[in-house]
Amino acid sequence: AQSVTQLGSHVSVSEGALVLLRCNYSSSVPPYLFWYVQYPNQGLQLLLKYTTGATLVKGINGFEAEFKKSETSFHLTKPSAHMSDAAEYFCAVGNAGNMLTFGGGTRLMVKP
Amino acid sequence: EPEVTQTPSHQVTQMGQEVILRCVPISNHLYFYWYRQILGQKVEFLVSFYNNEISEKSEIFDDQFSVERPDGSNFTLKIRSTKLEDSAMYFCASTRQGVAYEQYFGPGTRLTVT
């Protein structure tokens, strides 16, 4: 069975500050890892993904994440937060059956 | 850019009634999924569908649920006799063959059971 833990259900940063959203996973096989963003009243939009190869992956809107196998982590970062980044962020792991297992989500708030 | 669409955006129904949630996946996608998100909780996998049959389902997807691809474009989720605890946002997703893990999600249908 696979699982995802997102530390911090709410994260608040000031505009221009570093964004760090934490994700740890458990998987019995090499994982496929994803970050999705959900804006209010909208569906889930893929930010970035890790499948194989380079462990630092870049996504849309200036976000990136690094796969660290030794730490079973896939933390999401952005050097400088923007007001438009306020949303809920979900980390997910894909398994052999193609289903995604999601973490509980982290709501990012950006203060002016 | 192609996108997954879902109708209706909001469905209110009485307990015990049947509901059908509809999805139009991206046209060249071959794998289809339903997820749900109860208010304030995580997104949960319900079922995956490929080649006109269910490929995987969760324990949530019991006999009250069914899925169908009635034509070449629609993908539906039916709940036969709704319960209060079925109230949730239901998301449809689809992927292209060969990139099965990059799932594209629709905007969701909010189901309210009263």
Instruction: Kindly state whether A30 is in contact with chain B, defined as any CB-CB distance less than 8 angstroms.
Output: no
For residue A17, give how far its alpha carbon lies from the nearest alpha carbon of chain B (Å).
27
Query: What percent of chain A shows pLDDT beyond 70?
Result: 98
Q: Please state, rounded to an integer, the average pLDDT across all residues of chain A.
A: 92
Which one of A48, A100, A101, A107 would you mutate to disrupt binding with B, by most B Cβ within 10 Å of its Cβ? Answer: A100
Among the listed residues B36, B42, B21, the one whose alpha carbon sits nearest the alpha carbon of residue B89: B36
For B23-88, the three-class secondary structure string (H helix, E strand, C coil) is EECCCCCCEEEEEEECCCCCEEEEEEEECCEEEEECCCCCCCEEEECCCCCCEEEEECCCCHHHCE
Q: Do A43 and B43 touch (CB under 8 A)?
A: no
For residue A81, give how far its alpha carbon lies from the nearest alpha carbon of chain B (Å).
24
Q: Given this model, what pLDDT does residue B26 score? A: 93
Q: Do B55 and A97 touch (CB under 8 A)?
A: yes
Instruction: Kindly state whether B56 is in contact with chain A, defined as any CB-CB distance less than 8 angstroms.
Output: yes
List Cβ neighbours of A67 (8 Å cut-off, separation of 6 or more): A33, A50, A55, A56, A57, A73, A74
Q: Given this model, what pLDDT does residue A83 score? A: 96
User: What amino acid occupies position A46?
Assistant: L
Instruction: Kindly state whether B108 is in contact with chain A, defined as any CB-CB distance less than 8 angstroms.
Output: yes
Distance CA A98, CA B98 (A): 11
Q: Given this model, what pLDDT does residue B8 score? A: 96
The answer to whether B31 and B92 are in contact (CB under 8 A) is: no
Q: Do A103 and B55 touch (CB under 8 A)?
A: no
For residue B112, give the 3-state DSSP assignment: strand
Q: What is the mean pLDDT of residues A52-63?
A: 92
Q: Do B102 and A98 touch (CB under 8 A)?
A: no
Q: Given this model, what pLDDT does residue B101 score? A: 65
The 10s digit of each residue's pLDDT in A71-86 is 999 999 999 999 999 9
The 10s digit of each residue's pLDDT in A22-52 is 999 998 777 889 999 999 878 899 999 998 8
Distance CA B68, CA B77 (A): 7
Query: What percent of chain A shows pLDDT beyond 90?
Result: 72
Instruction: Kindly state whether A17 is in contact with chain B, defined as any CB-CB distance less than 8 angstroms.
Output: no
Residue A96 pLDDT grade (very low, low, confident, very high; cuts 50, 70, 90): low
- Radius of gyration in angstroms for the set of CA atoms belonging to chain A, rounded to a whole number: 13
pLDDT at A1 over 90: no
Distance CA A105, CA A111 (A): 19
- Return the residue of B nearest to A44 by Cα: B105
pLDDT at A111 over 70: yes
Distance CA B37, CA B89 (A): 5
- Residues of A within 8 A of B35 (CB-CB) are 100
List Cβ neighbours of A45 (8 Å cut-off, separation of 6 or more): A36, A37, A38, A39, B105
Residue A97 pLDDT grade (very low, low, confident, very high; cuts 50, 70, 90): low
Q: How far is CA B76 from CA A27, A63, B11, B66, B80, in A?
A: 31, 34, 14, 8, 12
Q: What is the pLDDT along chain B (114 residues), one digit of tens a residue?
A: 789 999 999 999 999 999 999 999 999 898 999 999 998 888 999 999 998 999 999 999 999 999 999 887 899 999 999 999 999 999 999 998 755 567 899 999 999 999
Task: Tell me which of B57 and A2 has the higher pLDDT.
Answer: B57
- Residues of A within 8 A of B42 (CB-CB) are 90, 102-105
